[in-house]
Every structure is written in C-alpha cells, then in structure tokens.
Structure 1
Amino acid sequence: MYADTVRCFGETNGRVQLLAGGGVSGYRYAIDTTRYYADPVFGDLKAGTYTFWVKDQNGCRQSTSLPVTEPVKMRLSLTDRIDPLCAGDQNGIINVAASGGNSGYTYWLDNRLSQSTGRFVGLTQAEYTLKAVDRRGCEDTIQRVVLTWPKSLAAAIQTQTPRCFGDANGSVGIQLTGGVTPYGATLLTGSQSVSAVVVGDSLRFSTLAANSYEVTTHDAHGCQLRIPVRVAAPQAINPILLGDSSTTCRGQLVKLDANNPNLAVVWYLDGRELTRQPVLSATQPGTYSVSVTNATGCVRTATYVLRNSSKALQADFLIPTQAFVGDTIVALDITKPQPEKINWILPPEAFTTQLQPTTTSFVIIAEGTYPIQMEAFSGDCHNLALHDIQVFQRDSAGQTDPRLGYQDYNLIENVEISPNPNYGRFTVKVKLSRIEKVEIRLIRVTTGEVVYTASDAEKKDYSFSINIHAKQDVYVLQVNAAHSQVSSRVLILN
C-alpha cells in the first residue's frame, strides 16, 4: 500500500494505492463493502482513517485500515512593520513569518517580488499585499499592510534685524512642524556651523549680523529641511556732523542739521526738548543735543555748544591788488561766519556796475591807490574790512606786479574771458595779429600757484575751454605768444 497525504490543510486530494497478493488473481478493490473497482488507486480523499477491501477471483476478501494525513494549516503572520523615516523616503520595512503547511516557503510582495525570507526592505508609502507559498503550493495572504510617510518638515521663520547698522545682535527663530520630534537645527555662518538653542517650542539663533544664511533643520529620524534665511540690515544712521561748538553774534541764526531727514529726531537745549524736526534754527546760547533713532531702536546722539560774542564776526573780502583804469573790478565777501548784511564803501572815483548779495563790481576812472571798505553786520555784531587797490594807466603797465601788464600790443590784439567771474568753468579766446604759438597759464594771486596750463598749434585765433575745481580766489590768466604777454584777472567763486 502507498498513501499520499493531503496537499494542504482542509483539501480533499489525498491518495491511496493498494497492492494485493495471494488468493486467485483478478483482484478488485473497495473503500467500502458495497462497490469494488479494478483500479487499486483511490484519490480525492480528505484527511482521515479509511478501511480498504480487496477481493480475489473466488470472492475471498481481506481488509486493512490506513490513515490519510494532512499538514498543519498554513498561516502567514505580520511580525513587524516600520514606516519610512522621512517624507518621500523608500526605507520602510515589513517583516512576515509563515508557519504550518509543508515548509520550504517563498514570500511574495504584491505578487511581483518573491524571496526566500519574509523581510521586505526599501519600501515607500503604500498599501501592500503579502503572501507565503510552501513547497507544495499551499499559501496564505495578508491584505492591506499600510506604510505611511511622516508629515513633511515645515518651518515658520521669524527674523529680527540687528539694532544698529554693523551690529551682530540679530536673530532667527524657527517653528518646525511635521517629522518626528525632537527637532534640531544648524546655521552656517562663514566656515562655522552653529547649533540652534531650544527656546520653548522653537529653535533660535542669536548674535547674528545682517547677512544671508543657510539653516539646516532636522527631526529625530534625521530628516532634513534646508532653508535660506536673510537677516536684513537696519536703516543706517548718517553721521551727525554738528561740530563741537561755535561763537556767534547775539541773535545770529545757526542751522543745525541732524543729517537724517527720514528718521526720528529730537532736539534738546540744555536738556529741554525743543523740536522733532530734522533741522533746527538755533539762536539762543547753550548746549544743544540731538538724538536720532531708527526703526529698530538704534540711537545716535551729538552735542553742540553755541556761545555769543560781539566780536564773533570777522569781516573780509577778496579783491585784486592792482588794476587798470576802466577795468571792471570784482570784490567778493568772505566774512566768517556769513553775515546777515554787508555794505560796500567805495571811493568817489569808483562807479558800481553790479551789486549782488556777496559781490560788487565797479570801475575806477582815475589812476591812484584807493581804499575799498566793506561793513559786515550780523545780530549785534559789526565789523569793517579794508583793502587797498592800485589803479594804473595802461601806458604805465611796467610799474605793475610782474604777473600783470601788457607787452607788444601789436601781437596780442585781444583776450576775452567769458564768463568772468565764474565757478571754474570758462572760455578764453585769444586773437593775434599774426600766426604764432600760444601758451596760457592760470595763477592764483594769493599763493602764486600755477593751477592750469595749456597751449595750441600756431594760428591767429584760439579758443581754450577751461574746467577746473579751484578754490574761491582771484587768479591771473597769462597769455604768452612769442615774446609778448598779456595778463587778465579772473575771479573764481565756489
């Protein structure tokens, strides 16, 4: 006899084959006593103990009992599941174990991946079906094993600007959600990495200068979120250039400028608040102080002491020391501090051609030495300045300063300076009676310094465009052609 067990638990596919001997051949077989078959094989049996009969040609019978077995019911169990560590990761794990059946298990994931162990790794967020099959094809299945990602890390950023321009007291606060707590963060500043300090439920970086940074946050699983962060610079406070002190005439106005028109300004006189305007008109003597505050609370201060004196005004003016009869002479006020009013006192031989707030132009019609006076007034101050000027006839030019005068009138016919006075930008036109090379020089009278030179090719008519940054003063323009020279006065203003 031969008995084959049931393939899988509960199935009806057991098989028994009988082998008879003795008696008279022509055997017939039965699994009960009612029906006999010539085939000694009985199949589709479920597990159990059966009695089998054999009958020979003469009707002699013999029976035997035989068990048909089945394997233990096969079971697939979920022993462990580990979700992916970070959102988007593929590092989840599912562990299953099979028991029962006929051993020799093969494990399947979603009917697409098979392996000899029940540990599946490298899994992403999904719903999985797992199956185990033994060596005889018995199987068990687990449906809907779900792996999920944790929520993605998200950050709310709050920055604080440094208080003053150039300070390193700014900060960055980070509120994280998602992932798995506890959280951490690092900030890269230059070549150094700084760890965040936990403050309540947020992470904070302090003592930061205005700059762009990269912050790397992480959760307990090492999931990271990189965030570019910019700490803005505060509004810079311009230098407050008041000076230390000054002495003025009583009642004279002094303008004090905080130099920060768009910021909060407060002026004080001897500790008492005066105004919140950016510019203060000061007349009273005392100690003036100003505070300038930007939007982040940075404060800059300055102090200025104003004193009064009846001798504070120092009148003075610029004027050439020599001129020719009929020349236009220009005098320029350079009084310090700037006066409220000036008054020019000219000799009877002088005729005023133009009068402006700080200059006067006049012509003297006779040869001689003349006093030119200017009175300056400011508040209760009054001061007088006096300068002499020598006036010559053109035929006595040899008596003048060697930097002035005319020689060889026949060669240099005309020199025209326009405009004069000017602010350092003017044109010089020279007309000669014959073709010659021309050179020009501009000399500052008070110092003798040559501030400009130029020359041009040989021709009869020349035009020089001059544009210089020169101090306010009287200058002499020398025009040289061959052995002739003509000098003219130029007044440059600021």
Structure 2
Amino acid sequence: PTCAAPTGTITVTAPTGAGLAYSIDGVNFQSSTTFANLAPGSYTVTTQSAAGCNSTSAPVTITTAPGTPDVATTTATQPNCSGVTTGTITVTAPIGAGYSYSIDGTTFQASSTFANLAPGTYTVTTDNSGCQSVTSTIIIDPVPTVPAVAATTVTQPTCAVPTGTILITSPVGGGFTYSIDGTNFQAGTTFANLAGGAYIVTVRNAGGCTSATAIITIDNSPVPAVAQASITHPDCFNDVGRIDVNAPTGSGFSYSIDGVNFQNGTGFIDLVPGNYTITVKNINGCISTTSVTINPVPETPISASVTVGQPTCATGTGTLTITGPLGSEYTYTIDGINWQPGTVFNNVLPGTYDVAVQSNGGCKSETTEVVLVPPVSDIVITGAQGCEGWNFESSYMLNASVSGANASTDSFVWTNAAGETVGNGTTFNATEYARLNAFSPSEYPLELTLTVTTPGGCMADYTFEVDGTFCDIPRGISPNNDGMNDNFDISGMNAGKVSIFNRYGQEVYSKARYTNEWKGQGDNGDELPTGTYFYVIEHAGSNKTGWVYVNREQ
C-alpha cells in the first residue's frame, strides 16, 4: 500500500503456465497470477496443478499503508549586517531515514538544511514514502541596512558644570538605540555627566546593525579636585589645631579656609576648634570645596582616687581600685605603660605605684602615689615557764605573753613535737599534759609550741622546752640507778642555788642554777650515806628549806 493506494497486490511470478491455478486462502483458486486490493495482513499462496497437487509459498505480508508525516519544525537564519546576504532554513523535526524535504514541492533532498536562500517566502514539504506534509509560509528577510554614523553635538565641562555632554542629532527615530561603551544601549539621544576622556558613539537600528563614530573627546574638568587634607587636632599640650592640604598641589593652585582669603601655601596653623571649609582655586578661577572639623581641646582628667587593699600574709598581694574619675572615656595605669579600661588592679605586689588616668583624647592626670606594704606579722610572743607559786604539788605552767594579736579574732593553738593540737589559749598546764600522757623521765625535755594566727594568715610561734613537770619538792630519793627517784629533781621550780647539809649542819653539796643534779653525792663526788639531809633552795630572792631522806637500800 501507498498514500495513494491503501491496498496491496501479490503477483505470482513462478510457476506459471496452462493448467495451474492459484489461491491465497486455500479454497478459492483462480488461473490469474495476480491478487489485487489486498488489505494489510499475512497471506500464503497455494499453487495447484491440473492433477490436483498443491504447493504453498512461505507467508507473504502486505504492510500497513504509510501515514502522513508531521509538519516540519524549522529554524530560519536571516541575512545579517556582517556580510551574510542570504538566509538558511533548517528542519529540526521530523528527521531520520525515510524522510526527504523540498522547498519547491518538486525537488526533494535527504538533507534537512536549505542554505543560500534569497530573501522571500518559502514552504517546506516533508515526504515519507510518498506521503507529504507542508509547513506554513517561512520568510527570509531582506538584507538589513547599516545605520548612518551618528552626528553629535558636544558640550565640554565648565567651572559651573564640571562634566561634559554628548547629544546625538542624527540618525534619530523609532528603532534606533545608542551607546558610548559598545555594551549598554539606550533609546535616549543624550549622554550627560561625562567625565573627561575618549568616547565612541555607536548607533544600532532595529535590524541589529551598528555604526560607530570616530573618537569624541570630553575635556577634563576645569574644576580642581576636592582637597585632601591632614588634620592636626588640639591635644593636651596645644590648644589649637592645623590643616595641611595634601592634594591637589602645585603651581597655579591657591587655598582658603574662609572662601575669601586665599594663599599659595598649603598649611593653615593656630586654628581654634570648629568647622572649616577648604576651598581650592586653580589658575582658571575654578574652585572646589570640602568641609573639615578641628576637634575641641581634650579634657585633662583629675587625679585618680584609689582604694587600697593591702597585701595579706595569705595572698602576698594587694588590690588597687579606682573610685574616680569613672567613665567609658577613661583608661587607667599603675605603671605608666600598661593602660586598661577596668578600674581594678588585682594581684599587685608590695611596692610604690603611681596611679594615673587617661582620657580618650590622650590627656593624662597627675599621678596618685599609693604604697602596698609587704605583709609582716606584728605578733610578738615571749614565754615564761615554771611551777605555779612556791608551794608543794603546784602545776608546771607554760605562760605566753603575746603582743600584736587580737584575742577575739586570732587563733592560739598549742601543738606537741608531733604537730598534734594539744591546747588553746596563752597558758598551758604541762603537768596535766604529762600526767594524762604518762611521760617517763627519759622522754624529757618536752617540746610544746604556741602558734598565733591572724585571719589574714600572718602567724608567729614560740616553742617551750620542758625539762620536767615536777613541781613538788621530793621528800626522799633512792639513788640506785634504777631510773626512778634517783635524783633530787626540782627542775620545774626555776631554782637559783641549792645547798645540802648533813644532820650536823655541815654543807656537803651546793649547786647554782640547780635543776636535778644531786643524787646523794658530796661536792667531791663521793656517795653520801643513807640518812636525812637538810636542803636550802634559793628562789627569786626567797628561800625554801626542808628535809630529804636519802635511801641507798631501795
């Protein structure tokens, strides 16, 4: 089948001849070798001889009639301003094997592109196995024309108007746009506020064709550049300021800060605080202006008020706190080098410091001298020890005299040689301590220390050495070297001199600054016999006397 004939035909080409018949359904036979007007489908041709013998062909397929192709989709490339005077039509769909194309309905080609087309109207016919579709009209435009080069009027900068203007006088009208940088186009014909420099005006028409002028020069502005100046403000040592013009400079320029009086020099000195307008005038008489300010004279702060926290024995450092002047505009120092916004200086070592205040303007106050004193303990402890009173069986007491301490706030602690706390206060009963701990004579002397500590950590101590705690005068001794009652021990009595007499009143022994040296011997070192002896103990200007029995048999 074709687009023109939608049915197919099967023609038997062999075997042919008299006596043969043909069928495509196996039932109805004919002598003709042609089967026409066949619908699409599969057929088997049966050939039958005169004798009734049959043979069958392989299946024969009648295909479906081809459909009409889709109308072509096309793109057109138009003639342009760059010398391409013809156009192109390109078919983008449908494309592929079996398709052919024509722009005159007669001449077909497999290529989907038609180039070098003169301006005019065209239609594209797409053919597929004889079936065809036709596009609507496609127009190739006439070759575009280049616009005329712009005619312009140029207005140069003046003192009053420091920029230039380019005005396009032709070509003008709808469809034209203009540019002075070749990139940005506008419909307006005026380019104003132009700085000095070279410009080229480009004209573009509706067809996209452009023309460009020769270089058009806008003169540099006759107005001098605005002054660039260095400002010196009043400071703590100078109450006037200064203005120095850094640019523009050179011959032909003059300068003013009041708009009336001009000078060739670039410096203006001894200026009081306030607002000024710097005017620059060039040789053409053109001027430029800019405003500057001379700051007020900065304030000098008052001297610092300081609260001093003195070092303590616990920390060793103190604290300085600024109590005035205060504010975010101030910084502070205690060494003249390192400044801080904070008003507290912690961990300050003992010494003399000069505290100063500085304002934002850099003005510094007179210094305030403060002294941090090293922490020293004022506590002084002196000790006295001995038996209470001058009586038998009194206690051996340790008495501390403490100056520079506060009994209501300071601690008074007694410790033994092992560092154990054994008492409080300024007195200590060594006899009671010895009794409770059952010390033997071999454990003497005892060391007992009183430590006084302030809340600030300052401390002082005093150590007592106790040779004995016996405050009763022995009534007898047994000097047999058994370690018990061998000596006449009055070490706790703070005796001066001890003298021993026999029953006949004869002095047999004496010892100054006596403690416990007599064990029944005479001055010559010989042992005295068992018996009763008379003693005289000198103590603080008074004497104590009595009898002591010496027993060598126990």
Report the TM-score range of the alignment, normalised by the length of the smaller protein. 0.3 to 0.5
TM-score (norm 2): 0.35
More strand by share: 1
Question: Higher Cα Rg: structure 1 or 2?
Answer: 2
Greater RCO (Cα-Cα under 8 Å, separation 6 or more): 1
TM-score (norm 1): 0.38
